[in-house]
């Protein structure tokens, strides 16, 4: 598959089923498919980053909305047993839940992205290494090269083609 398509699959699966369950399709793949796994995890990291941004933004927004509703005159009049301090304490929980989940998803997103980069670099290394692994063989040397002219020497000192170089002391 193309890298963009695989990244899109990882993104959509993670966005729809949540980052918790998005890793399940990777269990069904062979361990040798570094490229598909790497690009799938890259899409998963992007979707998890969106989850983190949502929770980090949702916490403060919902806390302020909760405070506005909870401290309104009509709400407090309808619930005489609740004070403003109780409302602030309850609404602060929304902030901490959002920050906790946002931080958790941000850390997971970073770890998944690092893992995807590792898998993609392993795929690239395997492409250049070949099947057996190790260092590539050195290119064979061309020993048949014989210079036609020694630069700086007179034409009489040049040697003909395929003649051995005279030994100099």
100 versus 59: which is more confidently predicted? Answer: 100
Question: What does the longest C-alpha to C-alpha distance in the chain come to?
Answer: 117
pLDDT in tens, 79-101: 788 887 888 888 888 888 889 99
Look over the chain and give the mean of its residue pLDDT values, rounded to a whole number.
Answer: 79
Residue bearing the bigger pLDDT, 8 or 28: 8
**Global model pTM greater than 0.75:** no
Q: State the CB neighbour count (10 A cutoff) for residue 37.
A: 23
pLDDT, mean of residues 44-70? 88
> What is the helix, strand, coil percentage profile of the chain, to 5?
70, 0, 30
Residue 30 has pLDDT above 90, yes or no: no
Cα torsion through 23, 28, 31, 35, rounded to 10:
-70
């Amino acid at each position: 598959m193309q890298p963009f398509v695989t990244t899109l699959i990882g993104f959509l699966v993670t966005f729809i089923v949540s980052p918790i369950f998005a890793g399940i399709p990777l269990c069904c793949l062979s361990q040798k498919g570094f490229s598909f796994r790497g690009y799938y995890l890259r899409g998963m990291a992007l979707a998890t980053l969106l989850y983190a941004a949502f929770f980090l933004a949702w916490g403060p927004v919902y806390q302020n909305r909760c405070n506005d509703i909870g401290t309104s005159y009509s709400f407090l009049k309808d619930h005489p047993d609740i004070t403003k301090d109780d409302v602030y304490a309850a609404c602060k929980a929304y902030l901490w839940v959002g920050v906790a989940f946002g931080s958790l998803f941000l850390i997971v997103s970073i770890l998944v992205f690092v893992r995807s980069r590792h898998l993609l670099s392993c795929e690239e290394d395997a492409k250049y290494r070949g099947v057996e692994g190790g260092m590539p063989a050195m290119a064979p040397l061309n020993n048949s090269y014989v210079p036609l002219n020694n630069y700086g020497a007179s034409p009489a000192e040049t040697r003909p083609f395929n003649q051995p170089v005279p030994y100099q002391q």
